[in-house]
């Protein structure tokens, strides 16, 4: 069963900081994803925004970079599990692109935070960046647990939210950054369903367990919604690249129901079946 993150002593946490090696290594990376450097960097002027809004924006984009880093770790773990269970090569090949996509998203979000005045401090436990499946479980189940949590819930939920944010973003740099992320995430959002449809009845014995994993992931992705509901709407998000509370929560509810819960239920995995909520709480 996927291990959830547990709290660790403050002294064992590390600061989320990033660097580039440069030279030939960076050139190879740039050749693989030339669209990153081609963006209109250096064009955001936040001086007309209130100091608190600037700080909120730096915090928002730093957190986005960290979440992309976490997702990249899950995507890499997923590739290992897919190889272990001898998933079809083309399915593994498609999934192999995702860790690079997420690294690109980390760089994009971190560079936006820099443009806005610099990243804000995030402490994290590097030993638990990604959830780890039990290595004694069948490899197919390990892959399924990772994919249900990260792709069928996480990526499928975030695609419509990101697409809406991209459409609303008015600044050319933020619009272009979100455009790259949305393009990549569309493929990530579809991947989980392709995997489940391939695995089919091989996962029949594990559907309750996968429903529990899905429910725990849904709770994790929506746990900040109560706090968001107490925030006031403004136009700052549209200027600086995120959705305001009211439209975010409305779209988030719809995205979860239509893009996550319904397609899971259609595949026999019901995160809202009797007893699943209790089982998901026990996982946390
Ligand atoms: Fe991403
Ligand atoms: Fe992704």
Average pLDDT, the chain: 92
Q: At what angle do helices 172-199 and 139-147 cross, to 10 degrees?
A: 140
What is the value of pTM for the model shown? Answer: 0.92
Q: From ligand 1's centre to the CA of 32, what distance in Å?
A: 17
Q: Tell me which of 63 and 2 has the higher pLDDT.
A: 63
How many other C-beta atoms can be found within 10 angstroms of the C-beta atom of residue 42?
A: 8
pLDDT band, residue 131 (cuts 50/70/90): confident
Whole-number Å distance, alpha carbon 274 to ligand 1 midpoint, is 33
| pLDDT higher than threshold 70 for residue 6 | no
Spacing, Cα 44 to ligand 1 middle (Å): 22
* Predicted local confidence at residue 48, as pLDDT: 87
Q: What is the mean pLDDT of residues 23-41?
A: 97
Identify the nearest ligand to the CA of 67 by its number: 1
CA dist 284 and 274 (Å) reads 18
- What is the CA(188)–ligand 1 centre distance, in A? 8
- Which residue, 37, 121, 105, is CA-closest to 65? 105
pLDDT score, position 224: 81
Angle at 151 between CA 236 and CA 97, to 5 degrees: 95
**Contacts from 87-91 at CB under 8 Å and sequence distance 24+?**
87/143, 87/195, 87/198, 88/198, 91/194, 91/195, 91/198
Q: Residue 103 has which token pair?
A: 């690294």
Which helix or strand (DSSP H or E) is residue 185 part of? Answer: helix 172-199
CB 13 within 8 A of CB 123: yes
- According to CATH, the topology of domain 10-283 is Ferritin (1.20.1260)
| Strand ranges inside the chain, DSSP E | 14-15, 123-124
pLDDT recorded at residue 5: 56
Percentage of the chain exceeding pLDDT 70? 96
pLDDT for residue 222: 87
pLDDT band at 232 (very low <50, low <70, confident <90, very high): confident
Helix (H, G, I), strand (E, B) or coil at 261: helix
* Residues lying with their CB under 5 A of ligand 1, a single-atom ion: 68, 102, 105
How far apart CA 214 and CA 229 sit, in angstroms, is 23
């Amino acid at each position: 069963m996927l291990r959830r993150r547990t709290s660790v002593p403050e002294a064992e946490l590390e600061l989320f900081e990033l660097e580039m090696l440069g030279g030939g290594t960076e050139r190879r990376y740039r050749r693989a994803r030339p669209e990153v450097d081609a963006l209109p960097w250096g064009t955001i002027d936040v001086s007309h925004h209130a100091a608190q809004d600037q700080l909120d924006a730096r915090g928002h984009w730093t957190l986005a970079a960290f979440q992309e880093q976490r997702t990249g770790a899950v995507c890499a773990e997923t590739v290992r599990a897919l190889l272990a269970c001898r998933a079809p090569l083309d399915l593994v090949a498609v999934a192999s692109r995702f860790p690079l996509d997420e690294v690109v998203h980390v760089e994009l979000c971190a560079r936006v935070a820099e443009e806005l005045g610099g990243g804000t401090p995030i402490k994290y436990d590097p030993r638990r960046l990604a959830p780890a499946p039990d290595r004694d479980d069948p490899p197919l189940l390990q892959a399924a647990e990772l994919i249900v949590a990260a792709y069928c819930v996480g990526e499928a939920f975030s695609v419509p939210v990101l697409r809406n944010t991209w459409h609303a973003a008015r600044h050319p740099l933020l619009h272009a950054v979100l455009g790259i992320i949305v393009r990549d995430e569309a493929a990530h959002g579809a991947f989980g369903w392709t995997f489940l449809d391939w695995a089919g009845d091989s996962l029949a014995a594990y559907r309750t367990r996968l429903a529990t994993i899905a429910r725990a992931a849904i709770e994790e992705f929506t746990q900040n919604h109560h706090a968001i509901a107490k925030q006031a709407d403004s136009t700052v998000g549209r200027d600086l690249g995120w959705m305001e509370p009211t439209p975010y929560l409305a779209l988030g509810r719809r995205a979860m129901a239509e893009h996550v819960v319904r397609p899971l239920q259609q595949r026999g995995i019901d995160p809202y079946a009797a007893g699943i909520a209790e089982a998901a709480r026990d996982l946390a």
